[in-house]
Chain A
Amino acid sequence: MTTTKRTAKGTNPKRPTRFGNRQQLQQLLAFAGLVVIFGFFSLASPYFLDWANVKGILLATAVTGIMALGATFVIATGGIDLSVGTGMTLCSVMTGVFLANLGLPLVVGVLGGLAVGALIGLLNGLNVSYLRLPPFIATLAMMMVAQGLSLVISGTKPIYFSDVAGFDQLAAGELIPGLPNAVLIFFVAAAIAAVVLSKTLTGRYALSIGSNEEATAISGVDVRRWKVVIYVVAGLFTGLAGVVMASRLNSAQPGLGLGYELEAIAAVVIGGTSLRGGKATILGTVIGALIMATLTNGLRIMSIPQEWQKVAVGIVIVLAVYADILRRGKDA
């Protein structure tokens, strides 16, 4: 908040900028960025617009995208979740334990994977809310614990789902012809996340806590309890990402996962969500995740070495967030 005191009347109801417009503009900007990147690569490479390639981009978006959806809720509260990457791996491994090792039914295994995610979120939430650990520390610890547990439980070896009939179809199958289920799951998850963020108490209180935690508490909202709920929601998305990842690879790779959390956070930030909390949109996160995947894909098609791809992504993050700051500066 600024100390500007412009209007002598105090309020001016006819001011044109309404909440909706502002957020729409934010998404429009990210979307325009996506279109520009898309346009650039399709001119640069004839293969880029190939459906097979676009499908590849969407597939690459799916897992980080789902993680980013969960991370959006935590970031909306002004927190951060560093455990989504290795947490996702732990969920993959546990799904492997349930399905491949214990031979439980497919549905039970998948729900079990989600439950592990929820449990990770629950522990994060309890640590943040009741032990009052800073989210950075609580989820950093969880990141390490999850990584370690994944390796211990799997005996550091991948768990393969070759004997679990139909598990790979979860991600690779095409309920809608031409569209891999992993992508479909991402889009459905995004739709659900959007409703939860904008239309339920969980989402409203996440934004409210991020906006002013103390005020939310004074208003009679049980902030500690709702924070736990919010971290559990984030954990559910981590679990979903773990299941989808396992299905895509048809195996649980315990060594994977580290670094994914930063990609997820980058997607959220590119989408215009403020790390200070209070401002977040799911559509922005989806676009942010798409931008990340498109960029990596396009640069690869242009045969730019992987090392330089990282540099490019870093620059895009700076540009995206700076654009957001400029825009915000104007109407502040």
Chain B
Amino acid sequence: MSESPALLSATGVSKSFPGVLALDDVHLDLRHGEVLALVGENGAGKSTFMNLFSGVLQPDAGTMELEGVPMSPAGPRQANELGISVIHQEFHLMPDLTVAQNIFIGREPRRAALIRDDVLERRAAVLFDRLGIPLDPRQPVSHLSVAGQQMVEIAKALSFDARVLIMDEPTAALTETEVATLFRIVRDFVSPRTGVIYVSHRMDEVKEISDRITVLRDGRYVDTLPTAQTATREVIAAMVGRQLETDVRPEPVAPDAAERDVVLSVRGLSTRKLLKDVSFDLHRGEILGFAGLMGAGRTEVARAIIGADRSTGVVEVNGRPVSVRNPADAVRHGIGYLSEDRKRYGLLLDQDVVRNVMLSSLPGMTRAGFVRDTDGHRVATEMVDRLAIRTPSVTQTTKNLSGGNQQKVVLAKWLVRDCDVLIVDEPTRGIDVGAKDEIYGLLTSLAAQGKSIIVISSELPEVLRLADRIVVMCEGRVTGTLANADATQHDIMELATRFGADHLITTGDAE
């Protein structure tokens, strides 16, 4: 085996950005017919590495070879032509164009300068048939769910005659069924002439799909391990350079939770589109988990509570019914919401930590109408200490912070505002393994300090790790509430898939 060249290889590759050495003498070998997982914490250099293969960036030093032939793609187009297709972590779709137009962008079949959309749609339909994806080529991408959009990305990557498929966190937006579809597609794709590089944070997926695992840490190559003979623990240890506790359950933080005051009580919450009669209680100092499949309505519950979407039902704060017509009302009642998309809804990325931390509390930090920046500075410094936000200074622009530290800044914003109820949506999305632990510890200690927290998460281990009780939703309904001690992943999945009669009709439609 060792004589024949690898399908794709990189040797001694380095890449630096102003002030940062992103990749330092890194190597990688993708063999024919294998799925190679590439893992590492955020900032380990995975995305930079992928961008070198896809031609988005060029290495400063080192060589890359495809089938033993040196290659240096000057751009994404050229990488595609060489047979390398990349599915990026962020979607690169044009929402106003149709599915078919998106997939074949830049490769439109034409006759006499006129685009043949009929040919385009037929090709897309053939592609979807081959991949077993139920997509309508003529639908505009803006009408698709996040998962649907992910499927378009995948189909687009596979529409090239690719020999190497590189996938960067492809399952971030997918439900379990869709992940299964994706894995089937990956397995179908792999043949003796092809290979896959699979970048992921999720160890269970890496375990399931890959043959070998290459680990990067801080821009350096650490090791390549055979998946079958390696325990997840060892992989994580290689990633973070230390042993980490996994499968932790919360200490029974609030065994007496049920007897404590109810801080937030929701009764019969319904929306026109999705939610049906959602009721639950949140006790002081409790972490309440919300689990469910994508589209189950967890985020919608949060949006309804904070008044971002119109709803019916009763919301009581500290026993008093309140009317929350918009997020500003919610904040007045001490309810803060941390969106799953923190870059879009959580942060002013171009502004510094001080400005971000002050944002929700500005009226309290003014004198005669002028903003008192000294107050903000003091408060931000306190928060940086209290939450252990790693930033060179409080005047650092937040876009330069890592995902975990950005999340802490958003948390700080709500803590400064004195919110007693925090609704945290996907608190560790896009945050690396080490920093996840920190966020977990932070949420737990906030609860211990008397904050009441709702955690919405798609990752069951996360919910089980954090929550005292778990509300499971399916199709806009609450299908069960479990105490953590009794709950297993299996129980939650069972409740999360308890579809009602009308679901059968919808799925029937979709197929």
Q: Do these two chains interact?
A: yes
A211→B97 contact, CB < 8 A: yes
A13-21, A62-70, A302-310: which one contacts chain B? A13-21
A50 CB to nearest B CB, Å: 40
A153 contacts partner chain B, Cβ-Cβ < 8 Å: no
User: Which residue of chain A has its CB nearest to the CB of B309?
Assistant: A4
B106 and A19 contacting across the interface, CB-CB below 8 Å: no
- Which size class do A's interface residues fall under? 35 or more
Q: Which residues of A contact B94 (CB under 8 A)?
A: 207-208, 211-212, 215-216, 278
CA distance A12 to B134 in the complex (A): 8
Closest to A212 in B: B94
Contact among B76, B96, B136, B145 for A218, CB-based, below 8 A? B76
B25 interface residue, CB < 8 Å from A?
A: no
Question: Is A201 touching B92 in the complex (CB atoms < 8 A)?
Answer: no
Q: Do A18 and B138 have beta carbons less than 8 Å apart?
A: yes
- The verdict on A174 contacting chain B, using a C-beta distance below 8 Å, is no
Inter-subunit contact B510/A218 (CB<8 Å): no
In the bound complex, CA of A210 to CA of B97 (Å): 10
Which of A4, A20, A207, A215 is B93 in contact with, Cβ under 8 Å? A215
In the bound assembly, the distance between CA atoms of A19 and B509 in angstroms comes to: 20
Contacts of A22 in B (CB 8 A): 140
Could you tell me the distance between the alpha carbons of A199 and B119 in the complex, rounded to whole angstroms?
13
CB-defined contacts of B510 to chain A, threshold 8 Å: 7, 9, 11-14
B90 → chain A closest CB, angstroms: 9
Complex Cα spacing A47 to B86, Å: 64
Interface string of A2-34 (1 = CB under 8 A from B): 011111111111110111101000000000000
Interface size on B, residues (CB 8 A): 56
* Bound form: Cα–Cα A215–B92 in Å: 4
In the complex, the chain A residue whose C-beta lies closest to that of B79 is A220
Q: Separation in Å of the B456 CB from the closest CB of chain A?
A: 12
A20–B299 Cα distance when bound, in Å, is 31
Docked complex Cα distance between A5 and B174 (Å):
11
Q: Is there contact, CB below 8 Å, between B503 and A8?
A: yes
In whole angstroms, what is the CA distance A1 to B93 when docked?
A: 11
Residues of B near A1 (CB, < 8 A) are 95, 142
Q: Which residue of B has the minimal Cβ distance to A7? A: B145
Which B residue sits closest to A277, measured CB to CB? Answer: B96
A201 touches B115 (CB 8 A): yes
Is A227 close to B, CB under 8 A? no
In the complex the two chains form, what is the Cα distance from A302 to B10 in whole Å?
Answer: 77
Interface digits, B166-184 against A, CB 8 Å rule (1 contact, 0 not)?
0000000001001000000
Inter-chain CA distance A221–B139, complex, in Å, is 22
> Looking across the interface, which residue of chain B has its beta carbon closest to that of A209?
B94
For residue A165, give the distance in angstroms from its CB to the closest CB of chain B: 36
Given the known interface contacts A8-B475, A13-B510, A218-B88, the answer about A211 and B114 at a Cβ–Cβ threshold of 8 Å is no
Task: Answer whether residue B113 sits at the interface, using C-beta atoms and an 8 A cutoff.
Answer: yes
Q: In this assembly, does A248 line the interface, its C-beta being within 8 Å of a C-beta of chain B?
A: no
Q: Which of A175-209 contact B (CB under 8 A)?
A: 195, 199-201, 204, 207-208
CB distance from B171 to the nearest CB of A (A): 13
CB A96 to nearest CB in B, in angstroms, measures 33
Q: Which residue of chain A has its CB nearest to the CB of B110?
A: A201
Q: Is the CB of B115 within 8 A of A6?
A: no
Is there contact, CB below 8 Å, between A204 and B77?
A: no
Residues of chain B whose beta carbon lies under 8 Å from any beta carbon of chain A? 56, 75-77, 80, 88, 91-98, 101, 105-106, 108, 110, 113-115, 133-136, 138-140, 142-148, 151, 156, 175, 178, 273-274, 293-296, 299, 340-341, 475, 499, 503, 506-507, 509-510
Interface CB pairs A-B, < 8 A, 11:
A7-B145, A10-B148, A10-B151, A11-B510, A15-B136, A22-B140, A195-B114, A199-B114, A216-B94, A220-B75, A221-B106
